[in-house]
Structure 1
Amino acid sequence: MSDDLRKVFAGARIRHLRQTKKMTQAEFAENLGLSTSYLNQIENNNRSLSASVILALFNRFGFDLSDLALDESGKIAVDLGEILADPVFADTKIMPQELKIAVLNTPNMVRAFLGLHRAFQKSREQLGHLDTTLTETEASVAPMPYEEVRDYFHYKDNYIDELDREAEKFARTISQTDRQRYTLLADYLSDAHGIRVVETKSAAEAGAIRRFDPVTQTLHLSATSTAATNYFQMAYQVGLLEQGALIEKLLDEAGFHTQSAREVCRMTFANYFAGAVVLPYKEFVEAASEMRHDLDRLAFRFDASREQVCHRLSMLQRPGQKGVPFYFLRIDRAGNITKRHSATSLQFTRFGGSCPLWNIHAAFEGHGEILRQLASTPDGLRYVCLAFSKTIQSSAFGKTSRKYAIGLGCEAKYAGQLVYADDLDVSDPQRFEPIGTGCRICERSNCGHRSVPPLARDIKVDHHSRNVVPFQVD
Structure 2
Amino acid sequence: MATPKLYAGIKLRETRTRLGLTQKLFADRLGVSLPYLNQMENNHRPVSAQVVLALATEFGLDVTELSAGDAERLVSDMREALADPIFSDAATPLADIRLAASNAPALARSFLELHSAYRRTHERLASLNAALGHDANTTVQSPWEEVRDFFHYCDNYIDAVDRAAEHFACPDGPRVDAIPRAISALEARGITVQFADITSVREKDGRVITIATHAKKSTQAFQLMHQVALITQNELLEATLDLARFQSSTARAIAKIGLANYFAGAAVMPYKQFLDAAQDNRHDLEILAELFGASIEQVAHRLSTLQRPGAKGLPFFFMRIDQAGTITKRHSATRLQFARFGGSCPLWIAHQAFETPTRFLRQLAETPDGARYLCVAKDVSKQGGSFHAPVRRYALCLGCEVSHAKDLVYADDMELGNPRAYEPIGISCRICERRNCHQRSVPPLERKLTVDLDRRGLLPYDIA
Does residue 230 of structure 2 align to residue 240 of structure 1? yes
Deviation at 1:272, TM superposition (A): 0.8
Match runs of 1:360-379 below 5 Å = 360-379=350-369
Alpha-carbon deviations, 1:285-334, whole Å to 9, x = none?
A: 11111100110000001111100110011111111211111110011111
User: Residues 259 and 375 (structure 1 numbering): CA distance in 2 closer, same or farther, change over 3 Å?
Assistant: same
Q: How far apart, in 1, do the equivalents of 2:163 and 2:383 lie?
A: 34
Write the letter of the residue equivalent to 1:445: R
1:110 to 101, 108, 111: 108
Corresponding residue for residue 279 of structure 2:
289
Q: How far apart, in 2, do the equivalents of 1:73 and 1:135 lie?
A: 37
Match runs of 1:220-231 below 5 Å = 220-231=210-221
Q: How far apart, in 2, do the equivalents of 1:194 and 1:351 lie?
A: 45
Deviation at 1:74, TM superposition (A): 1.7
User: Residues 139 and 465 (structure 1 numbering): CA distance in 2 closer, same or farther, change over 3 Å?
Assistant: farther
User: Residues 18 and 305 (structure 1 numbering): CA distance in 2 closer, same or farther, change over 3 Å?
Assistant: farther
Write the letter of the residue equivalent to 2:203: R
User: Residues 131 and 473 (structure 1 numbering): CA distance in 2 closer, same or farther, change over 3 Å?
Assistant: farther
Corresponding residue for residue 85 of structure 2:
87
2:423 to 433, 436, 439: 433
Does the 8 Å contact 1:310/1:328 carry over to 2? Answer: yes
Does the 8 Å contact 1:25/1:36 carry over to 2? Answer: no
Alpha-carbon deviations, 1:98-117, whole Å to 9, x = none?
A: 11111222222211111111
Corresponding residue for residue 24 of structure 1:
20
Corresponding residue for residue 202 of structure 2:
210
Alpha-carbon deviations, 1:81-132, whole Å to 9, x = none?
A: 1111111113243211111111222222211111111111111101111871
Q: How far apart, in 2, do the equivalents of 1:287 and 1:28 lie?
A: 45
Deviation at 1:358, TM superposition (A): 0.7
Match runs of 1:130-141 below 5 Å = 132=130, 136-137=134-135, 140-141=138-139
User: Residues 262 and 181 (structure 1 numbering): CA distance in 2 closer, same or farther, change over 3 Å?
Assistant: closer
Corresponding residue for residue 419 of structure 1:
409
Structure 1 length as normaliser, TM-score?
0.90
Alpha-carbon deviations, 1:4-24, whole Å to 9, x = none?
A: x965332322344456x5x42
Q: How far apart, in 1, do the equivalents of 2:314 and 2:290 lie?
A: 20
Corresponding residue for residue 181 of structure 1:
178
Write the letter of the residue equivalent to 2:197: K
Root mean square deviation, CA, Å: 2.6
Corresponding residue for residue 333 of structure 1:
323
Deviation at 1:77, TM superposition (A): 1.3
Deviation at 1:359, TM superposition (A): 0.8
Deviation at 1:441, TM superposition (A): 1.0
Corresponding residue for residue 372 of structure 2:
382
Corresponding residue for residue 121 of structure 1:
119
165-174 or 312-321, larger mean C-alpha shift: 165-174
1:13 to 11, 26, 30: 11
Q: How far apart, in 2, do the equivalents of 1:157 and 1:212 lie?
A: 31
User: Residues 369 and 393 (structure 1 numbering): CA distance in 2 closer, same or farther, change over 3 Å?
Assistant: same
Does the 8 Å contact 2:27/2:34 carry over to 1? Answer: no
Structure 1: give runs of 5+ residues left out of the alignment: none
Q: How many residue pairs get matched?
A: 462
Query: Helix, strand or coil: the match of 1:132?
Result: helix
Corresponding residue for residue 264 of structure 1:
254
Structure 2: give runs of 5+ residues left out of the alignment: none
User: Residues 30 and 383 (structure 1 numbering): CA distance in 2 closer, same or farther, change over 3 Å?
Assistant: closer
Corresponding residue for residue 55 of structure 1:
53
Does the 8 Å contact 1:175/1:181 carry over to 2? Answer: no
Write the letter of the residue equivalent to 1:161: D
Does the 8 Å contact 1:174/1:181 carry over to 2? Answer: no
Query: Helix, strand or coil: the match of 2:362?
Result: strand
Query: Helix, strand or coil: the match of 1:25?
Result: coil
Deviation at 1:29, TM superposition (A): 4.5
Write the letter of the residue equivalent to 1:295: L
Does the 8 Å contact 1:363/1:388 carry over to 2? Answer: yes
Write the letter of the residue equivalent to 1:213: D
Corresponding residue for residue 194 of structure 2:
198
User: Residues 36 and 272 (structure 1 numbering): CA distance in 2 closer, same or farther, change over 3 Å?
Assistant: farther
Q: How far apart, in 2, do the equivalents of 1:299 and 1:105 lie?
A: 42
Query: Helix, strand or coil: the match of 2:6?
Result: coil
Does the 8 Å contact 1:389/1:403 carry over to 2? Answer: yes
